[in-house]
A and B are shown apart, each in its own frame.
Chain A
Amino acid sequence: MADKRKAREVEDDDDIPGTSAEGPKQQAKAALAFKKKLKPDVKILASVTKFCQAAKDTEPETRTLADLNLANSCKEVVDLNTGSVVFEIEKSILAIAKSILSGNGFGYLVPSRSSANQLYVPELDRIVLKDKASFRQFANISSVRKTAITTRILQLVHQLCTKQIHVTKRDLFYTDVKLFQEQGQSDTILDDVSCMLGCTRSSLNVVASEKGVVVGRLVFVEDGDRIDCTKMGVGGKAIPPNIDKVQSMESDALFILLVEKDAAFMRLAEDRFYNRFPCVIITAKGQPDVATRLFLRKMKTDLKLPVLGLVDSDPYGLKILSVYMSGSKNMSYDSSNLTTPDIKWLGVRPSDLDKYKIPEQCRLPMSDQDIKTGKDLLNEDFIKKDKNWVKELELMVKTKEKAEIQALSSFGFQYLSEVYLPLKLQQEDWI
């Protein structure tokens, strides 16, 4: 899916063809009309500050799974220090060795991560893993491969943790290509292992290669180096894959702007949007990776800032928001560490298409697959909990139109940073 998005972005860089001679004039007029509505920045800032203050004042919910007393017990993992991880692995290996020596073969009790074993907890607003687990036996043709890979990964992680070093998932895969065959297999087992040991994936000292970027009014210390995200140029600071090394976050921002993709992020960074309206801008360039989600959560909890989401007006944009908020099914065992509750949907919302008079040629018809995804989303709990979201999604499915953030560029490349976002902030138009 990331590739598809990238391809779309490339297309968007071109001028939108088919705009008639009359078109641009009318559009310019419309753009001007919206620009006139803008109040001075001071006034906008005042209202945003109020919003920010409100967010800081509300005590963040600290309810955990244990507090809820749910009917079915759930599996959750915690951050463990490397010493405990080593100890956990050693205990498992010893148990296995004992079992082998007594002639019984061996196996692993692995929590199931299938969608049947997932549960959305509305109180927490995130997906958690139920307690179903399966026993993977070595002497079974269907599970022998997974069991063998698990054993090898356990040994490799043990090595990493004793040596106190970090590797990427790709590195891990290359240590035994012959056994793992493809990276997907070692990645899946790695998630199984963290589930099994009851620790987060980052505790295993295996990280994903960096993908996310952050820019704006944020200062933090990474492994002893002080990073000032206002001085990171237009590219922004790559989000460190290892969140453990990020400390002492400071910021004078009023909000965090979560952007779905790179193109919009670049525009905002280049226009130094964060200087006009103090904020932190973050993107994972499509589907968010673990590091970006961890980083966003850390910012939100440490700095107590409201988060505003700027995504495409299509089902995938919403899905990406949902991953930030409620977690992905694949990593639901670690949802408590990965999710950032209470993200406001700023735009681009289906209702914005008409409200901001986005020209027809910038809207795309939804494919059958899009419409199906949209309808499926309507049944998802995280959408249903908010009436306003349901309304927007229903509108999208009804009009069968989608638009990307770049559609706003039809009014000029800087329309996004100079008119659309300020106006949104001024009107406090988020849901």
Chain B
Amino acid sequence: MEGSKGKAKPKGKAAAAANESVLKQKSPAEFFSENKNIAGFDNPGKSLYTTVRELVENALDSAESIAELPIIEVTIEEISRSTFNAMIGLVDRERVDAALYDDFESEKAKEKRLAKEARDQEKLAKALAAGKKIKESNAKTGRGRGDTSFFKVTCKDNGKGMSHEDIPNMLGRVLSGTKYGLKQTRGKFGLGAKMALIWSKMSTGLPIDIWSSTKGQDFISFCKLDLNIHLNIPNIHIHEKRPNPEGWRGAELQVTIEGNWTTYRSKIINYMRQMGVITPYAEFRFSYIGPTPDKNLTIRFSRRTDVMPPVPEETKYHPSAVDLLLIKRLISESKEIHLQPFLQKEFVSINKAYAERLIGEMGPEFQPKMLVKDLTGEQIVRLHQLFRQAKFDDPSGQCLSPAGEYNLRLGIMKELSPDLVATYEGSAQVFEGHPFIVEAGVSLGGKDVKPGVNIFRFANRIPLLFEQGGDVVTRTAMKRINWNSYKINQQQDKIGVFVSIVSTKIPFKGTGKEYIGDDISEIAVAVKSALQNCCIQLKAKLVRQQQAKERQQRKRNLSKYIPDVSRAIYDVLEIVSGPVAQRPRYGPEYQDLLEKVAKREVTEATLKQKLTSHVQQVDSEMALEFATQSGMVDTARENVYLRALDSKRHFAVELHNPVAVFKLFAGI
């Protein structure tokens, strides 16, 4: 262990140095501990949720980066206090160290707990021993933290994996976006799994375990590490190679954190479900192992398609989307030395001619050949101002990777099994120099859907679950869509509204970056139009459905009146057929009829029976007509995805048919 520590240190320093030149000096971990609510770690429950989502999103990115259909397994194992103690007990040395802090802190904590419970969170950050202490005080008070407990969260993927040497640095150091370009990314903060690592450090102090293997690698890297928060370097416990007999590729992360399953159970399941909607090409296996077996839970969100959206491309900034700092950063990082190629290469929507025009516009002190590094602060301000005022072409949506109408549709059908679904993908739009694409789906009916409007929001292909009220999608669906005009009842129908927005920059609002504000008219308009397009499709289907329903009810509605009519007619017939002498005045054609009525050969029952068969005949005629009009199908056809089997299977017989080939397994 000593050895591994020594090995990690120089690397850490080098990375830290690189950071310093670009970024602020404050340790990202420190910043996080002060502002953990903005990163989604408000309380233990939400921390558990955020940990899961960070790990899942990392795993998805990893698989997608090598164009592999993701298979992701998430396991949350609840750890009882005794087990947790035993786990800490294993790490003897550290516990001795911690014990000193423990006693010192506990006195202070006890006082503060009486005054204010919220302060507890801060104490957590101090040391791993806090966990032990709190357990004790909990035992005494029996309240305060409610169901807070410890969880081992494991996330296994079939992604790219990490190379053996890179593992400590990739996970053990909080790097803050040194990303050079601009790209549609899943993460909201660019911190990914490192957040979960910090949280584990803060709440339990237990190190994280990583198993990883890259393609064609004959060993599995195993690494156990934790984080030195203040120095922002990994603290490696174990780093070794283990055999990989099955040729496994991917990564598995295991963190032990404090959390709360009871209160965030539905959120986590909801998240997985919505992830299933937006990523139908991935397979998720989620299991929860509780303290008692009866609480165990396993959900499988199976793959429904093998069409994957392309990996988002990195793109350059649009001139209207940069600020002064960013221009300075681009200048310092750019490979281009001269001003004109710098403008041309580092930004989208500026070609050579336009770069020259821009330089000419800024005055004689600017020359195409001048060195960008020589630009003074004032000159950069001038450039920035011009970027703001000048007119540029909109950036294209080429760099974006929406889920795709096909996938969204499959996802909705897979997870909700609605009666009807319509999807729409809008064209790329622009907001403050960032391109965005809005995709929408509207479903009706389905399982586990409440009556009324159910909103499902996605930003850059991850679900948004919190702070729904102020979101642009919620506002649009509730206030600006006139559901009635699409023959949809806003209160009674089970409406699912799915809106996915992808962009190089999602304009999040709120502390936790949990919703998209309603104040950006470009986005609001795009969302509304996408939803309206879905509704128009649905309306057509609903009208057709209505007709089909009417057709089914026609016979019943017609038959309902047969008794009334027969009785009324027979009543008159009976009177008319009474006096024989009167009969001739009705004309010769009715004599036979009157005779039969008088002889009781024609009765009310005869009329009823004749009418019933007539209604039946008309109904079948109408059904035929309806079928020819609507092309014999009542519901729209849909593509079926069948899972491909591995090629190692042996097949005995092939049954050929114009549509498909059936292969029968050979008995093994």
User: Which A residues contact B (CB, under 8 angstroms)?
Assistant: 87, 89-91, 93-94, 96-98, 100-101, 103-105, 138-141, 144-145, 147-148, 151-152, 154-155, 158-159, 162, 176, 179
Contacts and interface: CB of A to CB of B under 8 A. Distances in A.
B572 interface: yes
Contact of B618 (A93, A105, A176): A105
8 contacts: A90-B572, A98-B590, A100-B607, A101-B610, A138-B611, A145-B561, A151-B564, A151-B568
B391 interface: no
A103 B561 CA distance: 17
A6 B615 CA distance: 48
Given A97-B573, A103-B614, A158-B575, A141 B568 contact: no
A87 B507 CA distance: 82
Given A138-B565, A140-B618, 8 more contacts: A90-B586, A93-B569, A93-B573, A94-B586, A94-B590, A101-B593, A138-B558, A144-B558
Contacts of A89: 572
Given A141-B557, A151-B568, A162 B575 contact: yes
A105 B593 CA distance: 16
In the complex, the 5 A-B pairs of residues with the closest C-beta atoms, listed nearest first? A148-B561, A155-B568, A139-B618, A105-B614, A93-B572
Contacts of A94: 573, 576, 586, 590, 593-594
Nearest to A94: B590
Contacts of A179: 564
B311 interface: no
Contacts of A155: 568-569, 571-572
Interface string B595-626: 00000001000110011011101100000000
Contact of B602 (A101, A140, A154): A101
A126 B229 CA distance: 98
A144 B619 CA distance: 13
A97 B593 contact: yes
Nearest to B592: A98
A98 B328 CA distance: 97
A98 B589 contact: yes
Given A101-B610, A138-B565, A154-B572, A91 B586 contact: yes
A104 B565 CA distance: 15
B550 interface: yes
Contacts of B606: 101
A141 B554 contact: yes
B573 A152 contact: no
Contacts of B550: 141
A179 B548 CA distance: 26
A104 B572 CA distance: 20
Contacts of B558: 138-139, 141, 144
Contacts of B589: 98
A140 B585 CA distance: 33
B610 A100 contact: yes
Contact of B611 (A91, A100, A145): A100
Contacts of B615: 105, 138-139
Interface in B434-479: none
A139 B614 contact: yes
A151 B565 contact: yes
B599 to A, nearest CB: 14
Contacts of B614: 100, 103-105, 138-139
Contact of B572 (A139, A145, A158): A158
Residue with the greatest number of chain B CB neighbours at <10 A, chosen from A90, A97, A154:
A97
Interface string B537-568: 00000000000001000100110010011001
A147 B568 CA distance: 12
Contact of A93 (B561, B576, B617): B576
A154 B575 CA distance: 13
A96 B573 CA distance: 10
Contacts of B611: 100, 105, 138
A144 B615 CA distance: 11
A332 to B, nearest CB: 28
Interface string B229-270: 000000000000000000000000000000000000000000
Contact of B607 (A91, A97, A139): A97
Contacts of B610: 100-101, 103
Nearest to A98: B593
A96 B593 contact: no
A170 B626 CA distance: 41
Given A101-B610, A179-B564, A96 B602 contact: no
Contacts of B568: 151-152, 154-155
Residue with the greatest number of chain B CB neighbours at <10 A, chosen from A94, A145, A158:
A94
A151 B618 contact: no
Contacts of A139: 558, 614-615, 618
B554 A90 contact: no
A103 B609 CA distance: 10
Contacts of B593: 94, 97-98, 101
A148 B617 CA distance: 19
A94 B569 CA distance: 8
Residue with the greatest number of chain A CB neighbours at <10 A, chosen from B572, B573, B594:
B572
A147 to B, nearest CB: 8
B565 to A, nearest CB: 5
